[in-house]
Amino acid sequence: MEIKNNRKIIELVFLFWILIVSINLISAIGISKEYFEGNPAKVGPGETKEISFGLIIVNPEEGDRNIVLNLTEGGEIASIIGDKSFTVLAGSRDKIINLRISIPKDTPEGTKYTVALDIKDNTIPNGTQMVGFTKSSTSSIPILVEKEKAPVPEPAPEKPAGDYTWYIIIAVLIIIIAIVAYFLLRNKESGKSK
């Protein structure tokens, strides 16, 4: 009786291991974002601005990936620019997700929004023995309502009252000329005394 139970346990463990091995658990997609909690995208009241949500990076070993985007949060101010479904080539580092952010005029400065995207990998696995699951990850960026401040020009550094740069250059040149003249005259005199 105990042998049958051990055999069933071994069979279950083996089946579980086969299932785990046949499922691709590691996502082949990464996203690099310009905006994050410490660096929100800033858009003023009544403004519409196009921003880069992030850069999709695909692992070159995993093959091309079919991506589907879905805006899950912040739809009242944001929309996806371009296709919501596309293919990203293996090894690619140039697929940028762009968003259009439109803030209503009556929104007070300092208001914070969050825009979240659900990024799904709908790639069908190669081969007939593979079990495929849709991999999905959600990524978000903060939006801060703030009027864009005009850049303040940096004041030109003040020159010190006694800028002696030219005087120093001229003095060094005079010293060099004097040393060269001294050696020329000395060589000329030593040539006459022989």
Q: In this predicted model, which residue has the larger pLDDT, 87 or 77?
A: 77
pLDDT of the residue at 126: 64
- Let me know the angle formed at the C-alpha of 129 by 125 and 133, rounded to the nearest 5 degrees: 40
When the pLDDT of each residue in the chain is averaged and rounded to a whole number, the result is 78
Q: So where are the chain's domains?
A: 29-145
Is the predicted pLDDT of residue 47 greater than 90, yes or no? yes
Cβ count within 10 A of residue 56: 21
Average pLDDT of the residues in 60-75? 85
C-alpha to C-alpha distance for 28 and 20, rounded to whole angstroms: 17
Domain 29-145 part of CATH 3.40.50.1000:
no
pTM here?
0.58
pLDDT of the residue at 25: 47
Closest-CA residue to 74 (of 134, 146, 144, 148): 144
Instruction: Give 86-115 pLDDT, tens digit per residue.
Output: 888 877 777 888 899 999 999 999 999 999
DSSP collapsed to 3 states, 62-131? CCCEEEEEEEEECCCCEEEECCCEEEECCCCCCEEEEEEEECCCCCCCCCEEEEEEEEEECCCCCCCCCC
By percentage, how much of the chain surpasses pLDDT 70?
72
C-alpha to C-alpha distance for 75 and 97, rounded to whole angstroms: 15
Is the predicted pLDDT of residue 132 greater than 60, yes or no? no
